[in-house]
A and B are shown apart, each in its own frame.
Chain A
């Protein structure tokens, strides 16, 4: 029987919840409400009041080709970086779980990238991927001009995907490893006795049993790829070249604080929020059905 604390009067319960509610209200609902309000007005960049314009901000954004380009770039970025970060982490965790030589070392080392601030790791990747002097400069030596994130949009996109995935591989790895280790050893042994080889066991036994973790990481990775990508984009590409990496979260910043279009940026924030909400609902609705909870 679960142990529950009960209060004789409901007011005591409310009092306990008040500090938490205050925090959530101050730092989440209030700013979000403000953003909604701003998105419906035209804010003057130098202060001095605002004008109610209804849905005009949304109309102008949604009719802008630049904005649709930004949405596409964000979706491409989210899909590839999530896929890459999850796949690499899954492979690493599966190998570590088999206790190959050095697995204890990986377990510690692989979480570190997640602890590095996005701008710091972006700076590191900027050097690593620099076309004239980085590690990848070698390919330019062999085929001059083939790699240049400063000029080629696809190269720039690949760069930020590499940096973001690198960071999230560590995060995903820890969850995958924990999920693998939660599978009773005897299940794997039983499958081995049943004649199943390593790959077959992975596919038939381990993979289905870690689907709850896969689902959780999918939701987190997609959400984070929309939000946590800002620092990486800012340092590595500043949204360029030619808006190729101008992800939604970066465009909000550049339109708002560089272009001083506060109201347009607020409207973009609302759209980004709605997009994430819709994607998350979609995942719960259609992907969670395939998850085997134990």
Chain B
């Protein structure tokens, strides 16, 4: 078990910089998920920790030892790759035991440890097979076993579930979680799937464009996104964003065509803001209700447990998620009620969170 300290880590290829100074502290035994869209530098950061990419600037330390100049094998990390990277010419047992063989562990002990890992992962009956003869989920398990057998200080996962079908992914997700609880090894897990990220993480790191946007528990990230990017990236369906301007007694939205009345707060009148509201925080009311926005229903997506209602708000797309048994017809009018305490405000210019509003709004003035 080990802590990881990342200080101003940078990565550039020739002139292209892909990681712009990342700072991150990962506590011993923590399960940290790095979440971001493709190309945000999350895999690169993971590979920098692993030692598969050179660190162009800054410092990465594992357990207090700076590892910048160390070879991958000297860092004590094990990695599970996206495509599993199993050695095709070796049997499952040889794949799992390869690191022990390289380390010169005697054959008897090796067999015993392979057996132990195989038992944990329910691979015992497959030990003689070649990777070719395994299903996706089984390959995934072998890849896990190969990482586990070394009893590494740090586990690194590079989108290990993205090649599995939906059902298997959910199953492997909980298995990884259980495994972590038992081994309690420091883990860094990279993914672009927010559900995976939310369910697995002790702490979530949201990255965009080579920078860390926010670090926090999944609940913190969901309830207090630090930027417009985080707000729209985490949560499904994505948070609605309406551009607006702060007024004396409310908020003018969508270029002035809509108004939300509310007590004036913190921000100077005239500030341009992006108002965010989660689809699940919007309430459907009868059209014309005081203080509600009127909209036209575009499309209703049935999810079984609830439904997502896409509405048209003067041309701006807007979604509402409800678990109530309402089934509005496309084309019909609805009212949308938005409570000030559910609103998130982001600067129109920088996209960063503006918190003054929320703190000083007691009750909506309807």
Decide if A196 touches B52 in the complex (CB within 8 Å).
Answer: no
Which A residues lie within 8 Å of B82 (CB)? 186
Contact A209 B89 (CB under 8 A): yes
Task: Give the interface residue-count category, chain B.
Answer: 20 to 34
- Check B89 against A208 for contact (C-beta < 8 Å): yes
A193 touches B103 (CB 8 A): no
How far, in whole Å, are A184 and B79 apart by their CA atoms in the complex? 16
Please tell me if the beta carbons of A193 and B87 are within 8 angstroms of each other in the complex. no
Chain B 161-203 residues near chain A, CB threshold 8 A: none
Q: Kindly state whether residue A189 has any CB partner on chain B within 8 Å.
A: yes
- Interface size class for chain A? 10 to 19
Q: Are A195 and B99 in contact, CB atoms less than 8 angstroms apart? A: yes
Q: Are A195 and B50 CB-contacts (below 8 A) given A190-B81, A190-B85? A: no
Distance between Cα atoms of A57 and B102 in the complex (Å): 60
Which of A190, A191, A196, A197 has most chain B Cβ within 10 Å?
A190
> CA of A75 to CA of B78 in the docked complex: distance in angstroms?
50
**Binary contact readout B59-80 vs A (1 if CB under 8 angstroms, 0 otherwise):** 0000000000001110001110
Chain B proximity of A95: nearest CB distance (Å): 19
Q: A98 near B: Cβ within 8 Å?
A: no
A294 on the B face (CB < 8 A): yes
Contact of B72 among A184, A192, A200 (CB under 8 A): A192
**A205 within 8 Å of B (CB atoms):** yes
B80 to chain A, nearest CB (A): 9
Main secondary structure of the interface of B (DSSP, over half): loop
Q: Check A294 against B81 for contact (C-beta < 8 Å).
A: no
Q: How far is the CB of A173 from chain B (nearest CB, A)?
A: 23
User: Given A200-B102, A204-B98 in contact, is the A192-B87 Cβ separation under 8 Å?
Assistant: no
B89–A292 CB distance below 8 A: yes
Assess whether B11 is interfacial by the CB under 8 Å rule.
no
Cβ contact within 8 Å between A194 and B88: no
Bound Cα distance from A187 to B131, whole angstroms: 13
Min distance, Cβ B210 to any Cβ of chain A, angstroms: 21
Contacts A189-B52, A190-B79 known; A196 to B85 CB distance under 8 Å? no
Pairwise interchain contact A292-B88, C-beta atoms closer than 8 A: yes
Bound-state CA distance A161–B102 (Å) is 38
Determine whether the beta carbon of A194 is less than 8 Å from that of B98: yes
Shortest distance between the CB of A158 and any CB in chain B (Å): 37
Contact B83 A192 (CB under 8 A): no
Assess the A205–B73 pair: CB atoms within 8 A.
Answer: no
Judging by beta carbons under 8 Å apart, are A184 and B146 in contact?
no
Whose C-beta in chain B lies nearest to the C-beta of A195? Answer: B73
Q: How distant is B282 from chain A, measured CB to nearest CB, in Å?
A: 44
Q: Identify the interface centre among A194, A196, A209: most chain B CB within 10 Å of its CB.
A: A194
Contacts A186-B83, A209-B88, A292-B88 given; does A192 touch B52 at CB 8 Å? yes
Q: Is the CB of A193 within 8 A of B89?
A: no
- Give the CA-CA distance A292 to B89 in the complex, in Å: 6
Residues A196 and B88 in contact, CB atoms below 8 Å apart? no
Q: Apart from A189-B85, A196-B99, what are 16 other A-B pairs with CB-CB below 8 Å? A: A186-B81, A186-B83, A187-B85, A187-B87, A189-B79, A190-B85, A190-B86, A190-B146, A192-B71, A192-B72, A193-B99, A194-B73, A194-B98, A195-B103, A196-B102, A204-B102
Q: A interface vs B, CB < 8 Å?
A: 184, 186-187, 189-197, 200, 204-205, 208-209, 292, 294
Identify the 3 closest CB pairs spanning chains A and B, nearest first. A194-B99, A186-B85, A195-B73
- Between A and B, 30 residue pairs with Cβ closer than 8 Å are A184-B83, A186-B81, A186-B85, A187-B88, A189-B72, A189-B79, A190-B81, A190-B86, A190-B87, A190-B146, A191-B87, A192-B51, A192-B71, A192-B72, A192-B73, A193-B73, A194-B102, A194-B150, A195-B103, A195-B150, A196-B98, A196-B102, A197-B73, A200-B102, A204-B102, A205-B87, A209-B88, A292-B89, A294-B89, A294-B132
